[in-house]
Copies of this chain bind each other. A is one copy, B any other.
Amino acid sequence: MVLAMPTLDLATDPNKVLLESHSMFAKASAETLDKILAAGRPLLAEKNKLLFLQDDPAEYFYLVVSGWVKLFRETLDGDEAVIDVVNTGHLVGASAVVDDGQHSASATVVATSNLISFPVRVLEDAMTQDPALALGMLTSIAKQRRKQSREIEGLTLQNASQRIGCFLLRLLPATAEGSHTLHLPYDKSLIAARLGMKSETFSRGLARLRKDADIGVKGASVTISDVYFLANYVCSACSNDFPCEDLR
């Protein structure tokens, strides 16, 4: 269901604020932002809705206003590698403009989400006209690249419970200290896939953290009794120290 354009004053449009806060658009001109926003269409997507498939020619990219979207790649024999799971404020599929106009991964919605879809065309055009936007794109892709480097490192050097602990730490605000309680953001089985392990292994890994890193688990809510104690357990197998800014 496609609705009419938002009638809000653009200056206070929350979507504009959200888009502006993304590193890709941070330095773009006001005109660029308005042009892109004007081409956006709200989209309410239910769980399991497929946004696009890897290697599809990219027609649209999406801004996540609320909800969660999974990015993944599928192998010939049916396995899938989860590249990322993203929420509010993240863009999905926008990097197709630098990937020969093709999506480099598939995307599905994993929890009912409010999205805004934008034609990739509009972004392409805007990029040729606003050099600040091209630079923003550069900043944004560079950030993704850094994040992926850490991802690779984690996969090769950290074991299951360390990866889980690392994931938990990244859910906390960067300034966190002492004790904290948090809520797992999506299904444990999806977290497991996101971390490159099976759900049974995730379950056992969490149990292990309960013993070794003094955390408490009750359903989807996790209590960390001492952030630095957990960080110490997790980050010894990691090249950057807590609170690992790059990975957020």
Contact = CB atoms under 8 A, between A and B. Distances in A.
A67 to B, nearest CB: 23
Interface residues of A, number: 40
A214 to B, nearest CB: 20
Given A75-B157, A239-B75, A83 B138 contact: no
Interface stretch (A25-33, A140-148, A204-212): A140-148
Interface in A195-248: 196, 235-239, 241
B131 A98 contact: no
Contacts of A182: none
Contacts of A81: 152-153, 156-157, 239
Given A134-B135, A137-B138, A142-B95, A73 B235 contact: no
A54 B134 CA distance: 27
Contacts of A196: 155-156
Interface string A121-137: 00000000001001101
Interface string A75-88: 11101010100000
B152 A83 contact: yes
A113 B148 CA distance: 28
B235 A76 contact: yes
Nearest to A71: B149
A54 B239 CA distance: 9
A155 to B, nearest CB: 5
A198 B70 CA distance: 32
A148 to B, nearest CB: 4
Closest 8 CB pairs of A and B: A98-B142, A156-B196, A73-B239, A148-B148, A81-B153, A155-B155, A145-B145, A75-B239
